[in-house]
Amino acid sequence: MPRIGDPAPAFEAITTQGPIKFPEDFYGSWVILFSHPADFTPVCTSEFITFASLESEFASLNCKLVGLSVDGLYSHIAWLRTIKEKIEFKGMKNVEVKFPLIEDITMKVAHKYGMIQPGESSTKAVRAVFVIDPSGKIRTIIYYPLSLGRNFDELKRVVMALQTADMFNVATPADWKPGDDVIVPTAGSCGVAKDRMEGKESNITCHDWFFCTKPLTKDEVMKKIQK
């Protein structure tokens, strides 16, 4: 089962957008690789409509989407056609899913990524989310049970926060969103800690020597992370 910081396990697969080599084909982009339990199920349908409706927003963050379930290719195709032709959810309708959806009948990929969790189901993938960076490294892992639909604002926030941390050498506090203050690296010496507590470092607010923040505007963030 892969862990945060590991290289994303490699595989080749057939998808609704043709064959892929993962993560090789996606180097240079962020990727959300996610699994769902089954085609033609209601929670999964609501999620795919939402993912597809937000695809352009993820693309603006240089982030691509790749889905997976243990169903076959023809089931995938029929389900995605049904979504486009028949399903409306929260005002979203006529939604075309253009990102690849992996066929994984053998569960090879699902097992490689720890998406099959027998305590929940031995025949369906749980709702796993892997956020993978442009070098192919796993940066975030989130698991949801079969009954719980994902929070898409949070998935987008995760991508933005990871990119912000990388580009500005900062960390992001609880509930951070672009425009909020960010956390600067902890002081590496007593001298730096003392200077910060005495206000000698401009533009930094210290709640204590180990917890210091600085402003980072939404414009500064979005100029860096948006394509």
Q: Extract the annotated binding site for substrate.
A: 127
Element (H or E) spanning 192, and its range? helix 190-197
On whether the CB atoms of residues 2 and 138 are closer than 8 A, the answer is: yes
CB of 32 within 8 A of CB of 64?
Answer: yes
Helix, strand, coil % in the chain, rounded to nearest 5: 30, 25, 45
- Output the CA–CA distances (angstroms, integers) from residue 68 to 96, 100, 101, 160, 204, in the order listed: 17, 8, 5, 23, 44
Catalytic residue (one of 44, 63, 206, 212):
44
Residue 14 in 3-state DSSP? coil
Annotated binding residues: 127
Q: Burial of 5 by CB count in 10 Å (0-12 exposed, 13-18 middle, 19+ buried)?
A: exposed
- For the question of residue 206 being annotated catalytic, the response is no
The encoded tokens of residue 146 equal 């079969």
CA-to-CA distance for 24 and 186, rounded, in angstroms?
35
**H-helix segments, 21-143:** 42-59, 73-86, 108-112
List, by residue number, the catalytic residues.
44
